[in-house]
Structure 1
């Protein structure tokens, strides 16, 4: 990084810098900012060949890929975990969902959306600590039993795991006030009892504590295993708070993302080479101009393959290179931009623009006719 000039005009003194391979940047020079700075991308940076590597993946990827076809991978958590499992399975990799399809981390792997539901699986499987009953329910509100058979099968999958990929989804939780137990998701209507079933937002402290406990349990029982943590980019379908859903979702994700970040900073030295964060959340939310289809939650078709290719290129031992993954991401972003034509807001803007252009043409023709009549 080179300093080109110091500008003393304006509100504060600014320094013009040129990071290698990036657009020139400006920053205030009033305070020392460290010997090395990683800048927010300027508009022209977005078309760079190494955009993702420089502005999204830097500092988060391993020195070399460590997931191969013979690696036992266990991936579960929020719904984005399903995308990871499907992608690795398509590559022919060994994923837990194929090793034992009937255990709960397989059959409900993408439905364990909060940190409590994930830590429950580790406590139960590895140490036999069962949560209160009637908390685990499937997509059709069916109750999942705490059978010893399922527990031991889940334990066996955990103990044979080389890499855990855990996706945390949301901070809004429903719990049983009588037992303190937290539901996997919301409370099934047929079981709902307003006298005991309550709602709250999971705090930063308890979120971090659950993530720390998961790491401790893996470290104790599967000490050779590596952990890759992701945050799901899929937003809330609705909030149970008396506030707008978009704002509630922002808070929900911020709690998880901050807890993950602080945990990795706290445990980074102890778990060096074994604990990673893959920024799927940032890749989706910071790079695509039109992320979701009409329902505001499901991703546009081009997004998941682009994100998974970046994961594959950095974590998986395959022929896919980071340059190829970067190229796929750029193509997907351009395709995403083109889908804006179908967005209701942009369609209205285009209609308004077309109407204005038509008016200008008519006005122009009218002025030309008047000039000729003179």
Structure 2
């Protein structure tokens, strides 16, 4: 019998698939099994990097599906400030698979957090699960509850009626309520709403089993509510801004991203309606030698974003050679020292770190 490797395509061999390509034309994808067009409803959620996908969908004329639109009287700046249009609904950043699962459970009435709202010294009410949706809080619990009801209705509509849901996995580290396991986007009281109390909140770093289990449960719930739903999973290439683990943040980042990549792979193998987009591989490959990161080695440059988005559209929409050629041209530009000229990305994690750094400086 002949060696089975002799019949494999070029994409299976490192020299042909990686070594002989530059970072600007390296494509770690095989043809996707899913294709969508301008008429499909495309929704998204996830970590900060997920906003690049939603922004690209809008810019290229695809139907980015928003079920919680802004009131007509708000300016574009106010819309962003209050979390309208940043994602398909006003849930803010969703970093962990447990956070996604609990959001879906809440939308369908299967879970009601025991510790969700916090009142500051001025009597303003804040939603700890969406700490930056209302920067100055609500005037009363009546207002807060009404807004939450509208939000969860929009999330349920999103799950039941979208065609494609893109979820970017970001973190395994999270903070949960000791009372009922409610998970928060950031640690309460650390640069955001709430007050930290170690009797109420606990740090948790999700294992492979936990991360995969929560994601599978969320997919099961969403697919049961919407049998035609297609899901695209990605892993954010952005490193952790900080870690609570007693280890170097680089090790902590490697752990989190490895777990998330394994979870995504498990879902693709388990479900026919789940697909994977390799944004993580595109940005972090050694072939690019860090060219797709800014000087802080954390923020992804405009060249990196452009390359990832063009590969995404080439495979999932069939824009093909035109998109890939455009990406190569983008990659030939000089890398900026910092992403200051790029569109603002709303990121709970970064806001938390800026506030924390300011408090440490004082």
TM-score over 0.5 for the pair? yes
Closer/same/farther in 2, CA of residues 48 and 278 from structure 1, 3 Å limit:
closer
Q: Which moved more, 1:98-107 or 1:189-198?
A: 98-107
Partner SS, residue 147 of structure 1: helix
Distance 1:48 1:149 in 2: 45
Q: CA deviation at 1:169?
A: 0.3
Deviation per residue, 1:114-169 (Å, 9 max, x gap): 11111122111134432333240323595875732322222122211011111110
Shift of 1:298: 1.4
Bigger drift between 174-183 and 43-52 goes to 43-52
The equivalences for 1:84-123 within 5 A come to: 84-97=53-66, 100-101=69-70, 102=84, 106=88, 108=90, 111-123=93-105
Pair 296,48 (structure 1): closer, same or farther in 2 beyond 3 Å: closer
Shift of 1:183: 0.9
What's the offset of the Cα at 1:299? 1.0
1:187 is the counterpart of 2:185: no
Distance 1:107 1:250 in 2: 30
* Counterpart among 102, 115, 129 of residue 133 in structure 1: 115
Match of 2:51 in 1: 82
Alpha-carbon distance change, 103 to 168 in structure 1, aligned in 2, over 3 angstroms = same
Equivalent residues of 1:228, 1:276 under 8 A apart:
yes
Equivalent pair of 2:314/2:324 in contact (CA under 8 Å): no
**Distance in 2 between residues matched to 1:313 and 1:339, nearest whole Å:** 23
Task: Name the counterpart of 1:219.
Answer: 223
| Equivalent in the alignment of 1:7 | none
Between the two proteins, the alignment pairs up a number of residues equal to 299
User: What is the aligned partner in structure 1 of residue 257 from structure 2?
Assistant: 253
CA distance in 2, matches of 1:155, 1:284: 33
Q: TM-score, normalization: structure 2?
A: 0.73
Query: Offset of 1:325 from its aligned partner?
Result: 3.2
Higher relative contact order (CA 8 A, sep 6+): 2
Q: Which consecutive residues of structure 2, in runs of 5 or more, have no partner in the other structure?
A: 71-83, 117-127, 139-143, 339-362
Q: Displacement, 1:111?
A: 1.2
Deviations 1:78-133 (A, max 9, x none): 11111111111112222234763559954655511111111122111134432333
User: When the two structures are superposed, what TM-score results if normalisation uses the length of structure 1?
Assistant: 0.71
The answer as to whether partners of 2:68 and 2:154 remain within 8 angstroms in 1 is: no
Name the CA distance, whole Å, in 2 between partners of 1:103 and 1:153.
Answer: 12
Corresponding residue SS for 2:21: helix
- 2: CA distance between counterparts of 1:49 and 1:299? 15
Larger Rg: 1
- Partner residue in 1 for 2:278: 279
Distance (whole Å) between structure 2 residues aligned to residue 170 and residue 84 of structure 1 = 18
For 1:302, what is the secondary structure of its paired residue?
helix
**Residue 233 of structure 2 aligns to a residue in which SS?**
strand
- Counterpart in 2 of 1:324? 322
Secondary structure of 1:192's aligned partner: coil
Matched, 1:40 2:27: no
Cα pair distance change 1:141/1:255, threshold 3 Å: farther
Structure-1 residue corresponding to 2:33: 62
- Give me the CA root mean square deviation: 3.2
Question: Do the aligned residues in 2 keep the contact of 1:204 with 1:255 (CA within 8 Å)?
Answer: yes
Between the aligned partners of 1:51 and 1:148, the Cα distance in structure 2 is 45
Aligned equivalent of 1:370 = none
Offset of residue 332 of structure 1: 4.3
